Structure 1
Amino acid sequence: MGKTPTGKNTSGRGQRDLKVKVKSARGRTTSSTRWLQRQLNDPYVKRAKAEGYRGRAAFKIMELDDKFRFLVPGARIVDLGAAPGGWCQVAVKRANILGERGGKAVGTILGVDLQEMEPIAGCELHVLDFMDEGADDQVKEWLGGKADVVMSDMAASSSGHKKTDHLKIIALCEAAAYFAFDVLDDGGTFVAKVLAGGAEGDLQKLLKQRFTKVHNIKPPSSRADSSEKFVVATGFRGDLAGADTD
């Protein structure tokens, strides 16, 4: 018996189609109308609003953490391109930063982005371009040491050209990976969004040189018609710093 993300059964007889239909409006393109209709009917969007998360992407990091368990109490976690903050919200709860599940509140959640974000309890938010010179040292200073997790849900601005957009996000993910090499502690985890499209080979090779295991996964909350997937690299080998990764 199927269930939606809200937990309601979907296989009952005589259920009515409750989808919201959006009419075209002057000044709105056909594609924007389709996007709006998809948003209004997306169960993860509705669930995010009901549970107080800043976007449906929160469920993607939940599902990845359910499988790989990297958001643990005491962890020092860096969220690159953190806006609007959904992944940080999940990390605060999963790492028990506020001590809501008992025990002493430990660990650090650090969110960085090019734009300012509304505050999140238990999370340190900073305006920073992680590709700037010295950004890695600044992050380690804020953390008080190296990170246990570097995660990124960043996506480059869309050009509308599929191959170009694929190359742009792979380049962004590679930049995030090199940043992770500089700030991760031994045994750390790197999580990042990529787009399937054939240019990920070099990224996979790079990660396999520096991590014990590299997993590629499309979480259930990722839209079926999207080419996005996530790479989860575990067991960072910091002892390879300075090794030839060409």
Structure 2
Amino acid sequence: MNRLTIALALAAGAMFPALAQEKPAGSTIQGTDPEALKLVTDCNARKFETVVERDENGEKKSSKVKLCGKQGQTDAEWAATLKDAAAKIEANEKMPQTAKDQLTSALRAEIAKVEAGAVALPAPVASVEQPAPQPAPPPVIVAAKTPAVAPVVKKPKLTIRCLAPGEKGTGSSCATLDRATRLSIIADADLGGEASLRFLRRGDERAKLALAPMRQGETYRSKLPPELCAGVASTKVEIQVMGSGQVVETLGPYSLRC
């Protein structure tokens, strides 16, 4: 199997791509920025890896993709690097759509993982010398406080449509789905990084899809998660729209043929 290594590195605020066959030790990659090359070969900083499958002359082949960050990046900076890579891949008109779908889906999952792990831990409490106990002051009567009201979760404004194999455009209403169905997710308003989709099979969660920030009118396409067809020939699925980790809308159920 012809296996390629596609390495993407972020250095000095710009992305430097390098594409080469696997080479023996001591070989070099020609035409690559020195700083980007160091990141590609060492990748001692943060690293993201995935494999892209493709069909070439009827033969299944795969390409390994590696994205390296700069030394010392914070979680927020690394998440921004991943989002920038996803945006550049989506805008690349020369890249096959199947490769785009696989790369962007893997990147969005990694972004969600990084952002979930970036929750700040409480600061440690310094140990201080306690003063001698003082007489308790007389009780003070205060008015009862109104219970805090939980914040209302803002519903992400988006439309989900479905594309059959070979169908182009923005797609049509989702009805009966199959393994090759693609989702077309259209932002009806600007979306932040809090929107995501959760896929249920007969009520059980099977997969999640994190959505990167999108401007109004932008479209993101993705295949149905393969976990939905695992071990079944046909089933029922639902798609839940999530906002800040809470369910704000449930779509379906849809019939799925695997």
TM over 0.5: no
Q: Give the structure with the larger strand fraction.
A: 2
* Structure whose alpha-carbon radius of gyration is higher: 2
Q: Which of the pair is proportionally richer in helix?
A: 1
Q: Give TM class, smaller chain.
A: under 0.3
Which TM-score applies when normalising by structure 2?
Answer: 0.26
What's the TM-score, normalizing by structure 1? 0.27
